[in-house]
Amino acid sequence: MSDEWPTTDFSRLEMLYGPLAGSVRRLVDISIRTTADPATVAAAKLKIDSAADELSASAQSEPFGVQRTRDGNTIAWGNAVIGLRNPVAPPLVIHREADGQVWSEFVLGAPYEGPPGHVHGGVCALILDHVLGATAHQPHRPAYTGTLILRYLRKTELGRPLRAEAHVERVDGAKTFSTGLIADDDGPTVEAEGIFIHSKQPSA
Amino acid sequence: MSDEWPTTDFSRLEMLYGPLAGSVRRLVDISIRTTADPATVAAAKLKIDSAADELSASAQSEPFGVQRTRDGNTIAWGNAVIGLRNPVAPPLVIHREADGQVWSEFVLGAPYEGPPGHVHGGVCALILDHVLGATAHQPHRPAYTGTLILRYLRKTELGRPLRAEAHVERVDGAKTFSTGLIADDDGPTVEAEGIFIHSKQPSA
């Protein structure tokens, strides 16, 4: 998308579509855990299909991963990790410290399960890719994952407060070398290191 | 969960809850892409909340990652990658060849976006963790990710037919060393190698 939108438009649209995503996120979680009988499931399915039909009349064909505002910021509405409008995203809120550390605190529920009661190892990889990559991102100069190495120390529990954090180890030309981890209050569960690569040309 | 269910119960319950997950999956996709006006969004949100309320009356507190059937199979209903009942999962269907190769073919839409129009690098990691791990899984003897290394060769496109595949390179005691990749019809986009570890005791 080449159009740039004023930040005020984004705020207005987030107030409109954010709560919709929240409702869908809640439905996702409940739909996995429900033991409802066939009549209840059929009635709920009718409502869900009707809501989807109404919303689809005006659905854009293109996804919403990144949109740019006129003040130079980008907003990742549809991003699979942080997208406010994406019910698949937890969504993580990414914080940046003055010293360059990036962190996020979150709890993962039923939709992120692998082993019973535990976070899917690949979901840990998804989150660490994003959080490590966020150390390398600069306005108008996105960084792409080159290499990502994950070491799983122990299982990560669903329903427990978790923290992901990362920082830059060094920068070598277009390459940013970062390390990070996911931890619960007993310590790290997964450690990661990654190389993230800036595109040669700043994106327009 | 220690209860074991007959396979016929699973078939019946999949016929009940599978289409529900399909409807929620469609709603997830449309809710990201819709440009509906506030009145349409409000009406859809009411239906979604009502459906969630009805289904929540009988929602179990525990997730559904793996359930075991009396014939010794396990069914990963809620799994974040392959869970038929999990709207966050694409869901991937995993195929196993006689020579041990594991593969899956799929198309990823808006919910899996990172860079505009492209699959989130972490989603590729999520899928490769699962597909490589599947080479090591044995009935009653799950394997957990120990180490996973991902090399991103180029961006992976949304909306394009993709294939993930993996095979075992070697087994050393409790460790299975596997390699794999994601490819489109122009070749690989992400390569992976991993070490997967069997728990010492077979699970009951």
> In 10 A of CB A100, how many CB atoms?
11
Q: Which B residues, 84 through 113, put their C-beta within 8 Å of a C-beta on chain A? A: 85-88, 109-113
* Residue tagged 């999990």 (tokens): B86
The torsion defined by the Cα of A138, A168, A147 and B159, in degrees rounded to 10, comes to -30
- Cβ separation of A60 and B33 shorter than 8 Å? yes
Q: Is the pLDDT of residue B174 over 60?
A: yes
Residue-level pLDDT at B11? 80
- Cβ separation of A65 and B117 shorter than 8 Å? yes
User: Which pLDDT band holds residue B157 (cuts at 50, 70, 90)?
Assistant: very high
Residue-level pLDDT at A203? 45
Question: What is the rounded average pLDDT of the residues B33-40?
Answer: 93
Instruction: Specify whether the CB–CB gap between A88 and A82 falls below 8 A.
Output: no
Residue-level pLDDT at B204? 39
- Buried/exposed A157-187: b ≥16 CB within 10 Å, e otherwise: bbeeebebbbebeeeeeeebbbbbbbbeeee
Instruction: Out of A32, A60, A63, name the one closest to residue B85 (CB).
Output: A32
Residue-level pLDDT at B80? 94
B130/A8: higher pLDDT: B130
Q: Which residues of B touch A20 (CB under 8 A)?
A: 31, 34, 41, 44-45, 48
SS3 B131: helix
Distance from A97 to chain B by nearest Cα, in Å? 23
Q: Is the pLDDT of residue B2 over 50?
A: no
Question: What is the rounded average pLDDT of the residues B26-53?
Answer: 96
- Classify residue A71 by burial, with Cβ atoms within 10 Å: 0-12, 13-18, 19+: exposed
Facing residues of B74 across strands? B68
Residue-wise pLDDT tens digits, B98-108: 998 999 999 99
Q: DSSP secondary-structure letter at B157?
A: B
Residue-level pLDDT at A30? 95
Residue-level pLDDT at A140? 72
Distance from A32 to chain B by nearest Cα, in Å? 6
A5/B117: higher pLDDT: B117
- B188 close to A (CB below 8 A): no
Question: Which residues lie closer than 8 Å to A128 by C-beta, 6 or more apart?
Answer: A148, A150, A164, A166, A180, A181, A182, A190, A192, A194, B122
Residue-level pLDDT at A190? 98
Task: Name the nearest CA neighbour of A103 among A134, A80, A73.
Answer: A134
> In 10 A of CB A67, how many CB atoms?
20
Instruction: Specify whether the CB–CB gap between B103 and A127 falls below 8 A.
Output: no
Residue-level pLDDT at B23? 97
A171/B142: higher pLDDT: A171
Residue-level pLDDT at A41? 96
B165/A137: higher pLDDT: B165
Host H or E run for residue B167: strand B162-172
Q: Which residues of B touch A116 (CB under 8 A)?
A: 1, 63, 65-66
- A45 close to B (CB below 8 A): yes
Residue-level pLDDT at A67? 65
Residue-level pLDDT at A106? 98
Residue-level pLDDT at A61? 74
Q: Which residues of B touch A140 (CB under 8 A)?
A: none
Give the pLDDT means over successive 10-residue stretches in chain A (204 positions): 61 88 96 93 98 90 63 74 93 93 96 93 98 87 92 96 97 96 98 92 47
- A154 close to B (CB below 8 A): no
My answer on whether omega of the bond before B91 falls inside 30° of 0, hence cis, is yes
Which residues in chain A belong to E strands, given as ranges?
A: 4-5, 67-69, 74-75, 95-96, 102-106, 143-152, 162-172, 175-184, 187-198
Chosen from B46, B113, B128 to mutate, greatest number of chain A CBs within 10 A = B113
pTM of this prediction? Answer: 0.91
Distance from A78 to chain B by nearest Cα, in Å? 6
